[in-house]
Amino acid sequence: MLVFEAKLEGKKQQYERLSEAIRTARFVRNSCIRYWMDNKGVGKYELSAYCAVLAKQFPFANKLNSQARQASAERAWSSIARFYDNCKKGKPGKKGFPRFKKHQTHGSVEYKTTGYKLSEDRRTITFTDGFKAGSFKLWGTSDLHFYQLKQIKRVRVVRRADGYYVQFCLDVERIEKREPTGKTIGLDVGLNHFYTDSDGQTIENPRHLRKSEKALKRLSKRLSRTQKGSKNRGFARNRLSRKHLKVSRQRKDFAVKLARCVVQSNDLVAYEDLQVRNLVRNRKLAKSISDAAWSAFRNWLEYFGKVFGVVTVAVPPHYTSANCSNCGEIIKKSLSQRTHRCHHCGFVLDRDWNAAINILELGLRTVGHTGTLNVSGDIDLCIGGETSQCKPSRRKRKPKE
């Protein structure tokens, strides 16, 4: 599955209609969750049938394209299915009981093959369902020309802090050729460096993370000083969410470039299977930002692994830093201890380097467990940002008439 993204350019009134469509999609999803909670044993097909009931009951739900309603029901089902799956697997801790979605700055609605029309030159898109959002100019994707309209399986409208975007999901398996390099690599995530690899090389944390951390702090402080319900609060919130958007774009840019480079120069990449979600809840902003950067990096590693036919292995993170990579003895150390000193065989190495070697070894030994990412399902894994041509905000715009 390939995803292309473009910014939608239209009039304010049109945006409001898109927003309405997004709100309706959320309503359908939430109603499906409610229906599932109230009726025992409801499955995927019952939910999809329930969409028609909703459309009859609520005129505004009827305005939404019927396939888009189905897609919202499918979303509800996927969060239910994930919950069931977590319960079945006996995952410790929270099982992720499906929750209702609240109104947020970001949101999306997904169309399948109807409800929109792409123009012949593929520069405008027209939404044709009951919300009558009309035609929008597409900014920032020229890649669409290489594919046939039949290949577009889904069209997603995404609302972000700085505007509305459309994502085209194409039914194309992206495979690229690559000569084997005969190299393998293990990566250890550290506090001081972004990662240390099994050859002892380190990649520093990108400097912009620190910068944006400061800016985020300042903006969120400003938001908390404004009065609830005031106009200023609205402005402050928008500024903060735009900053968050910028940070996430920088993070993505960094992750994509680095992941591509790592995958292209190795035949196997091993890294720790960290429960990133737990880490992100950490109070420290800086830590949570670098964790998010790591999880983005990991997603792209797995994505490029598929594209280039490189094995990516997530190994269990236990004892990776304690084990001696030379003799296998367990050498316990505290977090502040930066060097690994084995009193068994006398081996001395940087702590993270030692861990990276262990991770590589574990990765080489593991067979059958590779990355767990489902590439097609993730909104953030959009090809657009990978190439520099897709930066709609950089380009000069024509003034609106």
Virtual torsion, Cα 159, 164, 168, 169, nearest 10 deg: -10
Q: Extract the tokens encoding 185.
A: 């690599």
Residue 355 touching Zn ion (CB under 5 A): no
Q: State the minimum distance, in angstroms, from the CB of residue 360 to Zn ion.
A: 17
Report, in Å, the least distance between residue 321 CB and Zn ion: 14
Q: In the set 37, 53, 87, 327, which binds Zn ion (CB under 5 A)?
A: 327
Please state, as a whole number, how many other Cβ atoms lie within 10 Å of the Cβ of residue 299: 21
What is the C-alpha to C-alpha distance for residues 274 and 295, in angstroms, rounded to an integer? 9
Q: Is 258 in the site for Zn ion (CB under 5 A)?
A: no
* Minimum distance from residue 241 beta carbon to Zn ion (Å): 50
According to the binding rule CB under 5 A, does residue 348 interact with Zn ion? no
CB closer to Zn ion, 312 vs 354: 354
Which of 87, 345, 348, 379 lies at the binding interface for Zn ion (CB under 5 A)?
A: 345
Q: Closer CB to Zn ion, residue 234 or residue 346?
A: 346
Q: Between 299 and 323, name the residue whose CB sits nearer to Zn ion.
A: 323
Q: What binding mask, one character per residue, do residues 268-307 give for Zn ion by CB under 5 A, x or -? A: ----------------------------------------
The yes or no reply on residue 349 touching Zn ion (CB under 5 A) is no
326 contacts Zn ion (rule: CB under 5 A): yes
CB count in 10 Å sphere of residue 197: 24
Q: Which stretch binds Zn ion (CB under 5 A): 6-14, 107-115, 170-178, 339-347?
A: 339-347
The least distance separating Zn ion from the CB of residue 325, rounded to whole angstroms, comes to 8
**C-alpha of 388 from chain center:** 19
Q: How many residues bind Zn ion (CB under 5 A)?
A: 8
Give dist(CA 253, CA 245) in Å, integer: 12
Letters for 26-55 (x = contact with Zn ion by CB under 5 A, - = none) are ------------------------------
Query: Torsions phi, psi of 113, nearest 5?
Result: -115, -5
What gap in Å lies between CA 120 and CA 331, rounded to an integer? 66
Residue with tokens 């797995």: 302
What is the rounded distance in angstroms from the CA atom of residue 347 to the CA atom of residue 327? 8
DSSP letter for each residue of 369-384: ------GGG-TT--GG
Segment lying near Zn ion (by CB under 5 A), choices 33-41, 172-180, 272-280, 343-351: 343-351
φ, ψ (nearest 5 deg) of residue 219: -70, -35
In whole angstroms, what is the distance from residue 92 CA to residue 85 CA? 12
| Beta-bridge mates of residue 330 | 323
- Told to check if 342 binds Zn ion by CB under 5 A, we report yes
Residues found near Zn ion in the complex (CB under 5 A): 324, 326-327, 329, 342, 344-345, 347
